[in-house]
Structure 1
Amino acid sequence: MLRRLRATAPAALVPLAWVFAAAAHTELLTAHTVLVGHIVITTLLIAFAGLSWGEMRTDPVLRVWLAVIVAGIPVTLAGAYGVATGEPLGTQFAVFGWMLLPTLALLPTARRGGGADGLDRRYMLAAGLAGLGALLFLLPGSSLVLAAITLVGGGQTLSILVAVWDVELTD
């Protein structure tokens, strides 16, 4: 049951994290709530990495995602620091880090299988949406941040839904 939870929970947690980021950006959440969210996410990342370490380090693609999770711990802590101190660079680093890390990991994931060219187009579409969102985030102008979060959240949600769907069909 724990293995199934680890395999399927990200399908809910990934979109929830981006909805949380959008709500934080639009100031629907208090700074305290955002700080607690960062602490909870960091705890979940540490727990997930610890519980999944053995399984994920043996598969080349899962090893890439394990690296995303492990690298995401200090990225998330930078966000917590930014919220706690009011330093926007910490929160911007965290948001961009979570935009970039999974997007980069989608490329080897897409190469794992798929069409005649060896690419899984579903993951390529997800990487394209998330990559476009990450680029929008880097452009000056706060009006683009919500669009960037939406694109990245949509791409990453698509990718995790595909992954869970594929795992559920093969198990």
Structure 2
Amino acid sequence: MLRRLRENGPVVLVPLAWTFATAAHLDLLARRTVLIAHLVMVAIIAAFTVLSWREMTAGVLLVWRRVLVAGLALTLVGTGALLAEPPVGPLLSVTVVGWMLVPAAGLVATGRRIDRRPRAYTGGGALSAAGAAIYVGGVVGTVPGLVLAGLTVTTVGQTAGIVAAVYDY
């Protein structure tokens, strides 16, 4: 059952994480709730990485092991930013943009290495990277609509990639 959860869990967790991030940006969640979510994500990412480490030694799986390690570091940065008083906004933005760009690179690398539905991966990676650019434009220009658009575009791109991965494997 644990193996099945590791194989299929991300198809739920990826869009859930981005939905949660979007809710946080809309101020629908208390800071404490977002902090708890970060701690849960740290635990999930660390457990998934440790349990899958030996399987992820070459090819596409090695790419995703690196994405997980970088993602764990990014999530820890976000956790630290949330623990500060007041929270460190620029570090939170770095965490979000990092989670947009690191999986984008992983998706593009996956699309270049596989035969099954490579466009789902490369397209998902492109959308995720585009979402990062839109998001940064919204943060720097303080345009909330662009921030939300960037989050949405990234959600669509990364969800497309993870759905393809779970379906194919």
TM-score between both structures, scaled by the size of structure 1: 0.91
For residue 133 of structure 1, the aligned residue among 111, 131, 134 is: 131
Q: Secondary structure at the match of 2:27?
A: coil
Residue matched to 2:104: 103
Q: Which runs of 5+ in 2 are unaligned?
A: none
User: 1:39-62: per-residue Cα shift (whole Å, max 9, x none)?
Assistant: 0000111100000000012x3111
Q: Secondary structure at the match of 1:35?
A: helix
Deviation at 1:92, TM superposition (A): 0.6
Residue matched to 1:112: 113
Which residue type is aligned with residue 36 of structure 2? V
User: 1:80-136: per-residue Cα shift (whole Å, max 9, x none)?
Assistant: 122221110121111011001000111110012238xxx811112111211110111
Which residue type is aligned with residue 13 of structure 1? L
Whether contact under 8 Å (1:49, 1:66) holds in the other structure is yes
Q: Distance in 2 between matches of 1:71 and 1:127?
A: 16
Alignment of 1:18-97 (within 5 A): 18-57=18-57, 59-85=58-84, 86-97=87-98
The CA RMSD measured in Å over matched residues stands at: 1.3
Deviating more after overlay: 22-31 vs 138-147 = 138-147
Point out 4+ residue stretches in structure 1 off by more than 4 angstroms. none
Which residue type is aligned with residue 159 of structure 1? G
Q: Secondary structure at the match of 1:63?
A: helix
Q: Distance in 2 between matches of 1:74 and 1:113?
A: 27
Q: Secondary structure at the match of 1:36?
A: helix
Whether contact under 8 Å (2:108, 2:126) holds in the other structure is no
TM-score between both structures, scaled by the size of structure 2: 0.92
Which residue type is aligned with residue 97 of structure 1? G
Tell me the percent identity: 43
Which residue type is aligned with residue 79 of structure 1? G
Which residue type is aligned with residue 76 of structure 2? L
Deviation at 1:138, TM superposition (A): 1.8
Q: Distance in 2 between matches of 1:121 and 1:41?
A: 28
